[in-house]
Amino acid sequence: MNKTNNRIVSGMRPTGPLHFGHYFGVLVNWMKLQESHDCYFFVADWHAMTSEYADPKRIKQFVPQLVLDWVAAGLDPEKCVIYQQSAVKEIAELHLILSMITPLGWLERCPTYKEVKQQLVQKDLNTYGFLGYPVLMSSDILMFKPGAVPVGQDQLPHLELCREIARRFNHLNDTPFFPEPQDMLTPDAKLPGLDGRKMSKSYGNAIGLGESMEEIQPKVMKMLTDASRMRKSDPGDPEVCNLFPYHKTMTSEEDQAMIQAGCRDASWGCVDCKKKLLESMQTFITPLQERRAALLKNPDELWAILERGNVTARAAAQATMEELRNTLNFNF
Ligand code: TRP
């Protein structure tokens, strides 16, 4: 056990506003971790550039917006380090050094490299930076020598590569310099999109964390329910209804039992169920909206939160890099 084993590092790319799927998938997990772990959470703006390089100016507005979404959701800058990747220049230096030792074949074989390249045909991702994305991600992680990295399933190949790079570095330099970070898999998304598919802005089936009840209401009223329940007098099945996962995450257990019974014996209709969900959502979203409004009164504070985190992250990064330059005899 190394002494930083309680540390975790994770990041998100600033590419747009977050939605309820992010909240119940990633953020709930991060908020739990901030109570028990030494958390480093960062805005991965250099990563956003791998796909947005043709218009990097767009990225800047999304940086404070991501911090706004995080802090309004309940991440507490007093409990975790919130920082901006590009403000820690040491990460670029580590990326350079790790790129020297990373075999091309490891990157070319990375499944996410092959997939994303096919998906994003409209953008030219045939770049050196995109191929090297996992090396940059390894630098983000290894810089802070965390015990674990909370990520979604899709990021596991990157984390495996990160461990391989760490192992190779340690082997080449004959020192256990980088501890191998474990993966801490984020539980599966508990909340599907409005249409039952994975919630995603690009599917147009998302509810943004910053949306008002006026914006949310028509979306909820249009949601599809149990398709076999044609009339209110037909019994329904909450297990196949797309509304029920929403109740599961936002409605009290007592009311959930009432809803299930009412749906099954047809004493309660889908419109009633949606109205009840809107009430639950209102209760859920009110504290988030209050925090958001307070933060928006003084938007400079979002940059100030980042800057305070940047100072802490930079100090840790400088310590790692000094040690690393000594190890490599590159301490000129
Ligand atoms: N690649 C991650 C994503 O797209 C974001 C990310 C960048 C990250 N660096 C990281 C996550 C380091 C965890 C640790 O979601």
Measured from the Cα of 47, ligand 1's closest atom is 7
Domain-embedded: residue 196: no
Is residue 147 located within the same domain as residue 41? Answer: yes
Tell me, what's the pLDDT at 2?
42
Is residue 266 located within the same domain as residue 310? Answer: no
Domain-embedded: residue 266: yes
Ligand 1 site, residue 91, Cβ cutoff 6 A: no
H/E element, 148: strand 148-151
Is residue 279 located within the same domain as residue 323? Answer: no
Ligand 1 site, residue 159, Cβ cutoff 6 A: no
Domain-embedded: residue 147: yes
> What digits encode the pLDDT tens for the residues 41-54?
999 999 999 888 98
Is residue 28 located within the same domain as residue 158? Answer: yes
Q: Give how far Cα 161 sits from Cα of 2, 103, 222, 323, Å.
A: 21, 11, 43, 23
CA of 138 to the centre of ligand 1 (A): 9
The CATH code of the domain that includes 57 is 3.40.50.620
Ligand 1 site, residue 10, Cβ cutoff 6 A: yes
Measured from the Cα of 137, ligand 1's closest atom is 9
Is residue 282 located within the same domain as residue 228? Answer: yes
Is residue 159 located within the same domain as residue 229? Answer: no
Per the structure, the count of domains in the chain is 2
Check if the beta carbon of residue 110 is closer than 8 Å to that of residue 157. yes
Distance separating the N- and C-terminal Cα atoms of the chain: 32
CA of 159 to the centre of ligand 1 (A): 9
Is residue 184 located within the same domain as residue 225? Answer: no
Tell me, what's the pLDDT at 120?
62
Is residue 92 located within the same domain as residue 224? Answer: no
Is residue 221 located within the same domain as residue 75? Answer: no
Domain-embedded: residue 203: no
Domain-embedded: residue 206: no
CA of 90 to the centre of ligand 1 (A): 17
Is residue 184 located within the same domain as residue 272? Answer: no
CA of 324 to the centre of ligand 1 (A): 23
CA of 233 to the centre of ligand 1 (A): 48
Q: What is the CA radius of gyration of the chain?
A: 22
Domain-embedded: residue 85: yes
CA of 240 to the centre of ligand 1 (A): 33
Is residue 112 located within the same domain as residue 177? Answer: yes
Measured from the Cα of 9, ligand 1's closest atom is 14
What six digits make up the tokens of 97? 């050094």
Domain-embedded: residue 200: no
Tell me, what's the pLDDT at 138?
98
Ligand 1 site, residue 51, Cβ cutoff 6 A: no
Expressed as residue numbers, the domain containing 137 is 7-190+299-328
Check if the beta carbon of residue 94 is closer than 8 Å to that of residue 324. yes
The CATH code of the domain that includes 262 is 1.10.240.10
Ligand 1 site, residue 65, Cβ cutoff 6 A: no
Domain-embedded: residue 135: yes
Q: Which residues, given as ranges, of the chain have pLDDT below 70? A: 1-4, 117, 120-123
Minimum CA distance residue for ligand 1 atom 6: 11
Minimum CA distance residue for ligand 1 atom 15: 12
Is residue 179 located within the same domain as residue 235? Answer: no
